[in-house]
Structures are given as C-alpha cells and as structure tokens.
Structure 1
Amino acid sequence: MAEHGGTPADEEEQVWSWGAGTDGQLGTDKLQDEHLPQLLSLISLPSISMLACGGAHVIALTSGGKVFTWGRGSSGQLGHGDILSTSLPKPVSFFDDCVIIQAAAGWSHSGFVSDSGCLFTCGNGTFGQLGHGDNMSLSTPTKVSYFLDKSVKMVACGMRHSLVLFTGNQVCGFGSGKRGQLGFSSDSTKSVNLPCLVPGLKDVEVVRISANGDHSAAISADGQLFSWGRGFCGSPDVQTPQCLPSSLSFRVVALGWNHALLLTVDGEVFKLGNTLNKQHEKQKLHTDSSEAPFVKVPYFDGVKVLKISAGAEHSAAVTENGEVKTWGWGEHGQLGLGNTSDQTNPQLVSLGSTYLQTKEIEVYCGSGFTYVVRRKQELNSSPTSS
C-alpha cells in the first residue's frame, strides 16, 4: 500500500514511487499511474541495497543479498517461474540459497550477478538477450554457461540486448545488434544469442557499463566515456565503441532512449542527445570541434550532484543537499510534480517530511516511472565526551 506524507521517526528507510503504474511497477498494490510520490510500506522488503527499473518491472536487492521483483511479468522477467504480473514485491525463491549483489532490468528481461561471479538471466529471449545460445524466453533465472569459468562484475540490460563486464575488465554483448549496440556487428540486422567479446574495449580498463533502448556505453578507469549503438542527435549509428573526447572526467553514465546523462567526478551533470531542453541545445561545453558536444544541464550551478538516473525520456538527479530533481517527458506523471506536463529544466520533487539526518538518497528511473530510496543516518548511541 502507499500514502503521500511522512513516516514514523523510527523507520530506517523510505521508499517512494511515482509515474506509470498500470502494470503494478510502482509497488502500491494499485494498477494506476501516480502523479505524486507515493510512500510505500514495504514491511516485507527490509534494507534495500539497490533497485533496477525496466520497461514495467522492478528488481530489488536487500543488504542480505535477497531478491524481490514486481510489476509486469508477461515474459517471465520477474523470475517467479510463471508469466504473471504482481503489484507488490515478491521474493524470487530461486535465489534463496544464493547471494545476489547486482541486477539489471531491460524492457522485458532481467539479469542477476551473484557474489561468486555467476550471471543469471530470465525473461524475453526473442533476440538472444538472455545469452543461452537460443531465442527462448525463460520464467526462471538460469545461469549463463559462458561465464562459468569467469567472474562477472556487472550486467546491464537494454531494450533487447545485454552487456556484461567480467574478469579482466572485458565486456561482452548479446541480443539485438540492429543499431550497433552489441559493439561488434557490421550487419545491421544481426542478433547474437551467445555472449561475444566487444573488441573495441579490449585495451580499455572498463569500470562501469550501461545500456538502455538501443544504446550502450562504458566508463573507463580514467573517466573516459565510450559509446556505441544508436546515434545521438541524429548522428549515424555506431557499430563499435567510440571514445567521446573530452577534458571532463566522468564517473557515471545513465542512458535513456534518445539521450545520455553523465556525472563528472566533480559532481556536474552533462547530457548528450535529444532532450526537451531545446533552448540550451546549441550551448556546447566546448568550442573545440575535436571534442564531443556535451551540454551542461542548467540549474545545478554551485550545487554538487551525487546521483543521476535516466528513464526512456526523463531524467532525475540527487544533489548534495538531499534534493531530488526531475525533468523531461511527464506524460505518466514520472516527474512526480503532480501533473503530466513535460519539463525542460530540473524541477524539485517534494517528498513530504524529511529526515533531519539523511545517510543516503538513491534515485532510479524505469521507462516511465521513478523510485527514490532514502535512508536514515545512523546515530552514535554513546555520548560524545567534551
């Protein structure tokens, strides 16, 4: 169930959701869109360590490595052994004897990484995006045999493809490669159902990967951005990873369907691609034509941004002073502003009562919905001596 307002002071965690909800992806036990943040009562879901939001489903990992899923399950993406949807978090019993440390949600498929470095996938496999050597869909998480003798670090799921970062900072791709998003195909119609190395990253120390829509991206240890797949700003599709030259040092990339958000090590937010922010579209960061056309997102001047996330066509960020801001497409209420209007610039989301001391705030965007997890600062119970 959900409500809009504050929580008891002794609760350690707050979880909010809003936006598209007709498949149960908001976890409110209602099949409807919500234009304002809904405070969830997730008594059965303690201590969330991370969320992954897909087309219309959500994966939650707890600090103990347990897995819960909810939302649309019509392709088996929830991992419950069926093709049913659920509007409340439900434990994935398959992982009862396994600790999952990272997960990703695509349009209708899911990936899970265990503490032992194994990769499991389930959901829609029509394009080979599950990596099992066929195009079958699966409703139960299944171990990807290619990685049995390798240690997987991270999985990322796009619309119809998957990326995996594993031992030696190598990257594999599988699924649809129609727009070049696999990073190794010169055949624009090719799909691959077994993991294949992305050769263009062989000599790059990759530390983070991202996928959404028909886009793929990676961040290197020295803060460089590599991008491939569907072209941004009407540019041609890119078949192999290209380093986008910049004097900036990036630490996070979040991909939407038509745009990319980038967070620098200094807490500044930049964007690539088509956004609603037309008035700033020609305001390039650099005049040097040899550098990529990164555009700084306005209205964060003087405030460091700590977290970013991108949905299909909306964006969200968390600032150092604990504010959550959203902008972009708002048709389903995914901006959390109480309406369905689009916003060209970041707008403050009201989350009701706030903790006096907040330990951490995370934001996660699905295709047309948004989640915020806010944790209470742990206080030292012993008095401080003067």
Structure 2
Amino acid sequence: MVWFGFGFRGFGQLEQGEGQTLLLPEPVQIRGLDPDQKKILRAAPSWSYSAFVTEDGGLLLSGFVGGSPQRYLHFCGLDCQDVLLSEKYMIVLMKDRVECWNTGSLHPDGTLPEPMWKMAVSAGNKSVFPLVGNGYVLLEPPFFRELPLTVQAQRIALGNEHVVLLTSDGRIMTWGAGRHGQLGHGDVEDVWEPRIVEALHGVPMKEVAAGGWHSASISEGGDIYCWGWNESGQLGLPSKTQENTILYSCSGVTLQDASAKEEDDDDDEDSGYIAVQSFPALIDLPQESEASKISCGSRHTAAVTCSGELYTWGWGRYGQLGHGDIKSLDHPTRVNFFSQTKLSVVDVNCRHWNTFVLCQDAK
C-alpha cells in the first residue's frame, strides 16, 4: 500500500522533486524520512502542513510547523493510531488516550512537549476517529463533546462549521451552521443538536464526509448524495460563480432570490446553475460506477469506486483534483493517473486544498 498526494504545496507539505511551485496538479508518492521506508498508514493534510502515521506508531510532520518550514519532523514511539489537524492544533489518537498540542509549541528536535489537553480512552477503542468513547473530538476547545445517549454513532465527519454523523443503523444526522445548506434539512438555518436528515429516510448509508461548507454520503448501494455550497461545483452539480447571485435548490426546483432575479431577467441560461443545494442530491458517476469511499476538501470532493478508480470534482486552483491542470469541474471526472500506472485506489482523504490517496497494485 502506498500513499499519493496532490494539491497545495506552498509550505512544503507535499515536498517531492524540485521547484518552488505552490501547486502539485498530478499525484506524487509520499515517502517517509526513515531509511527503512516504514509504511505510512494514515495521511492527514491541513492548510500549511501534513501529518503521516507510520506502521511503527510514529508520526511524521511536513510543512510549516513550529514557526518554520520542515522537510520532515519525526516523532517516534507514540503508539499513534490516527491524527486530526487544524492550523493551530494537532490531535493524536494513541492506544489508550487522545492528546492535543498547539502547533506553535512543536520544535524540530524530535521530542514532543507536554500536551495542552489529553483524555483517556479505552485501550483498543473500536470507534472511527474522531469518534472516541461516548462522543467525538473537536478541532478547537473544549476538544471533546459528548453525544446524546440516544445517538449510536458509527462514523463522524467535521466540516468547517458543521458536523455530519452516520448512525449505527445507517441514518445521517447533521448539526452546526447551515447558511450554505450543508446540513441537508431543506433550509439554511443553523441547528445546534444532532438532527436526522429526513430527505434520506429509507436510504441506508455507509459513508459520510464533510467539506468546508458542503456534505456528502454514500448509500449501501454505492450511490453518492451531496448537499450544501456548490460555488465551485463541489457537489457535482452545474455551477456558475456570479457576484451578488445566490441560487437555492429545494425539492429539485431551482429558485433565484429576488435581488439576483432582477439582475438576471435577461440571462435565462443562468437558470440551470445551482449555488446552494439544501436537500441531498443524487450524483451519478460515469459508467454507473458504485462508490465505496468519499472525502471532501474545502471546495472539492473525491470518491473511490468499488473497482478502485478515483473521481474528483469541484475547485481545482491548486491541482487538488489530480488531473494535471488547475481547472475546476462541476461533474465527477476520473483521475486517469492511477489506471495508467496500474494502481487501484483504496481510500482517499481530502482537506482544504489537498488530496491524499491510498493505493495498491491493480489486480
């Protein structure tokens, strides 16, 4: 299994090859600092740095860390299992605890200072991080929030301002800021306690993802649903960015707000574009492919199919779509690099302006 990365590299977090370009539009293999090339089990990007969990429980950081650029900052012997990043905080899941550091406190001497926050968890915790115990980890203080006893969580995804949760019986719950329709409740209202997405009632789900201001899920049958902000086509729906224009799509009907309609009465061709989708919309992949994994960046989305192909769409300004250019796309498009190199995609992890992909040799 090998990891590849593409997208923003302005601070060196995808440091490969020569040059000082801010973008990496084609996938490159992520290689560790260790001469034995310990396998990377997890890859997690943030804005200016990335973290990699190695098979021996170590942690590699690459990018702008502790106030200076780092090729690789290596922390050994942590029993690290997973990691969650923001610009200000790094939260690490270990075998029996979760610990958090302010990234400004990290220094390039290979030792970690005392964590600013920590919490014990049961050894061998079976939850999918950031789920732990009876709640979930946050990327800002107080760093942990309990879930209601009535909520049995299977997976959870954190957006910039909202949360998407998959229950043990395949339902989806969302809460947080909703002004871009990212909660999927058919409006743009905020919701501060977990609430079922009623539009998906009767459709069991197996995967969820949360982007900057959009959300996505995969049904048990492999269908993709997206909702929220579509400013750059990140929902896989027709998109056109227009100053002072917001389009809302509810129950499959596209409506313009009054101010935008006055400006666009003479431009009928704009009526098919969607900027906010407040209900989940079914997104078709080419060749009726079934999806197995999905992840969302700030304004882009990536999905892995059951046959091991990767499709990406949305904002591509820093090459985060992996198509060898910086074009944005409002429809799912296959990343040909992996089929051309005879690699099968297993997993994908997007964040902000980066995409990391786990691959194996195609059978």
TM-score interval (norm. to shorter): 0.7 to 0.9
The answer as to 2:296 corresponding to 1:310 is yes
How far 1:284 sits from its partner (Å)? 5.3
How far 1:15 sits from its partner (Å)? 3.0
Q: How many residues align?
A: 309
Cα contact 1:283–1:295 (8 A) shared by 2: no
Q: 1:250 aligns with which of 205, 209, 222?
A: 205
Q: 1:171 aligns with which of 135, 158, 170?
A: 135
How far 1:343 sits from its partner (Å)? 0.2
User: What residue in structure 1 maps to residue 269 of structure 2?
Assistant: none
How far 1:104 sits from its partner (Å)? 1.4
User: Residue 17 of structure 1 aligns to a residue in which SS?
Assistant: strand
Report the Cα distance in structure 2 between the residues aligned to 1:351 and 1:361, rounded to whole angstroms: 14
- 1:75-90 map, 5 Å: 82-86=66-70, 88-90=71-73
Counterparts in 2 of 1:354 and 1:213: CA distance versus 1, 3 Å:
same
The answer as to 2:324 corresponding to 1:338 is yes
How far 1:328 sits from its partner (Å)? 0.2
Please tell me the residue identity of whatever aligns with 2:224: V
The answer as to 2:191 corresponding to 1:205 is no
The answer as to 2:354 corresponding to 1:369 is yes
User: Residue 375 of structure 1 aligns to a residue in which SS?
Assistant: strand
Counterparts in 2 of 1:89 and 1:297: CA distance versus 1, 3 Å:
farther
Counterparts in 2 of 1:16 and 1:338: CA distance versus 1, 3 Å:
same
Please tell me the residue identity of whatever aligns with 1:28: Q
Q: 2:336 aligns with which of 344, 350, 354?
A: 350
Cα contact 2:59–2:78 (8 A) shared by 1: no
User: What residue in structure 2 maps to residue 260 of structure 1?
Assistant: 215
How far 1:259 sits from its partner (Å)? 0.5
CA-to-aligned-CA distance 1:178-231 (integer Å, 9 cap, x gap)? xxxxxxxxxxxxxx5364434xx3211112121121111221100111111110
The answer as to 2:93 corresponding to 1:113 is yes
Please tell me the residue identity of whatever aligns with 1:90: L
Counterparts in 2 of 1:209 and 1:340: CA distance versus 1, 3 Å:
same
Cα contact 1:153–1:165 (8 A) shared by 2: no
How far 1:324 sits from its partner (Å)? 1.1
Counterparts in 2 of 1:138 and 1:243: CA distance versus 1, 3 Å:
farther
CA-to-aligned-CA distance 1:279-334 (integer Å, 9 cap, x gap)? 39848589xxxxx8210112246311111111000011111222111100111111
How far 1:377 sits from its partner (Å)? 6.9
The answer as to 2:177 corresponding to 1:193 is no
CA-to-aligned-CA distance 1:48-100 (integer Å, 9 cap, x gap)? 22212222322211233222121222xxxxxxxx43332x34322xxx33311
For structure 1, list consecutive stretches of 5 or more residues without a partner in the other structure. 1-12, 74-81, 125-136, 157-163, 177-191, 287-291, 379-386
Q: 2:77 aligns with which of 97, 103, 120?
A: 97
User: What residue in structure 2 maps to residue 20 of structure 1?
Assistant: 8
User: What residue in structure 1 maps to residue 25 of structure 2?
Assistant: 35
For structure 2, list consecutive stretches of 5 or more residues without a partner in the other structure. 107-111, 182-186, 240-247, 254-277
Report the Cα distance in structure 1 between the residues aligned to 2:74 and 2:119, rounded to whole angstroms: 25
Root mean square deviation, CA, Å: 3.0
Report the Cα distance in structure 2 between the residues aligned to 1:197 and 1:238, rounded to whole angstroms: 16
User: What residue in structure 2 maps to residue 241 of structure 1?
Assistant: 194
Q: What TM-score, normalized to structure 2?
A: 0.74
User: What residue in structure 1 maps to residue 55 of structure 2?
Assistant: 63
Counterparts in 2 of 1:298 and 1:174: CA distance versus 1, 3 Å:
closer
Counterparts in 2 of 1:202 and 1:372: CA distance versus 1, 3 Å:
same
Counterparts in 2 of 1:282 and 1:324: CA distance versus 1, 3 Å:
same
How far 1:250 sits from its partner (Å)? 1.6
Counterparts in 2 of 1:272 and 1:357: CA distance versus 1, 3 Å:
closer
Counterparts in 2 of 1:247 and 1:235: CA distance versus 1, 3 Å:
same
Report the Cα distance in structure 1 between the residues aligned to 2:309 and 2:203, rounded to whole angstroms: 24
Please tell me the residue identity of whatever aligns with 1:279: P
Please tell me the residue identity of whatever aligns with 2:204: S
Cα contact 2:46–2:352 (8 A) shared by 1: yes
Runs of 4+ in 1 over 6 A off after TM superposition: none
Percent of paired sites with the same residue? 19
CA-to-aligned-CA distance 1:129-177 (integer Å, 9 cap, x gap)? xxxxxxxx64346557663376666686xxxxxxx5333xx2156566x
Counterparts in 2 of 1:100 and 1:340: CA distance versus 1, 3 Å:
same
User: What residue in structure 2 maps to residue 220 of structure 1?
Assistant: 167
